């Protein structure tokens, strides 16, 4: 694949991240609210003499905090798709941060959306017998929108492969 100079601007660029409906601040507030409620309930059980229940109530808060931690950790993954005049580059950044680069020649590239029987779908970039699944963390509707957008941009790029002409006066 041709090397892409760092100074060239992409024709199309998109960064894909897993969707999260709750912010870190909101998750922290939920955990604090649950901890406060659990503390009030624990005081009631303590006053009645059922102190072993306090440990079980605390475990719920710890498990919820851990679930939010791992959810936000998995949200750090990212995929970037950059289309330059002679190259489409997919940059995959997993949770641990080691980058992987996949380069494709856009003229021969196909965008394939495979739908399953149970409302699942997979989005692939295919060329010359090679295939790469992208946007695995997105939902079916988001994948369909991305596939349509990529198809439109690739079709436009195939029709006008070169950079726009520079007019001189």
Q: How many CB atoms lie within 10 A of CB 105?
A: 13
Q: Are 90 and 80 in contact (CB under 8 A)?
A: yes
What does the pLDDT read at residue 168?
41
What does the pLDDT read at residue 166?
46
Q: Is the pLDDT of residue 92 over 50?
A: yes
Mean pLDDT throughout 91-119?
Answer: 91
pLDDT, tens digit (0-9, with 9 covering 90-100), for 23-36: 999 999 999 999 99
What does the pLDDT read at residue 7?
56
pLDDT band, very low/low/confident/very high, at 169 (cuts 50, 70, 90): very low
Entry pTM: 0.74
What does the pLDDT read at residue 167?
40
Distance CA 121, CA 128 (A): 22
Mean pLDDT throughout 92-111?
Answer: 91
pLDDT, tens digit (0-9, with 9 covering 90-100), for 6-54: 557 888 999 999 988 899 999 999 999 999 999 999 999 999 998 888 8
pLDDT, tens digit (0-9, with 9 covering 90-100), for 108-123: 999 999 998 888 899 9
Closest to 5 (Cα-Cα) out of 81, 107, 78, 86: 86
Mean pLDDT (the chain, rounded): 88
Domain 12-16+78-159: assigned CATH number: 2.30.29
Alpha helices in 14-164 (DSSP H): 24-48, 52-74, 140-159
What does the pLDDT read at residue 6?
59
Give the domain ranges of the chain. Answer: 12-16+78-159, 24-74
């Amino acid at each position: 694949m041709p090397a892409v100079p760092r100074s060239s601007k992409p024709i199309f660029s998109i960064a894909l991240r897993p969707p999260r409906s709750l912010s870190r601040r909101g998750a922290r507030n939920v955990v604090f609210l649950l901890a406060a409620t659990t503390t009030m309930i624990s005081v009631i059980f303590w006053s009645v003499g059922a102190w072993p229940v306090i440990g079980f109530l605390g475990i719920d808060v710890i498990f919820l905090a851990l679930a939010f931690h791992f959810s936000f950790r998995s949200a750090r993954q990212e995929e970037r798709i950059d289309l330059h005049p002679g190259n489409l580059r997919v940059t995959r950044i997993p949770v641990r941060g080691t980058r992987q680069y996949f380069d494709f020649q856009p003229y021969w590239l196909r965008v394939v959306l495979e739908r399953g029987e149970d409302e699942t779908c997979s989005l692939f970039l295919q060329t010359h017998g090679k295939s790469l699944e992208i946007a695995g963390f997105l939902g079916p509707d988001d994948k369909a929108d991305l596939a349509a957008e990529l198809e439109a941009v690739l079709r436009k790029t195939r029709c006008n492969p070169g950079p726009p002409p520079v007019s001189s006066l």
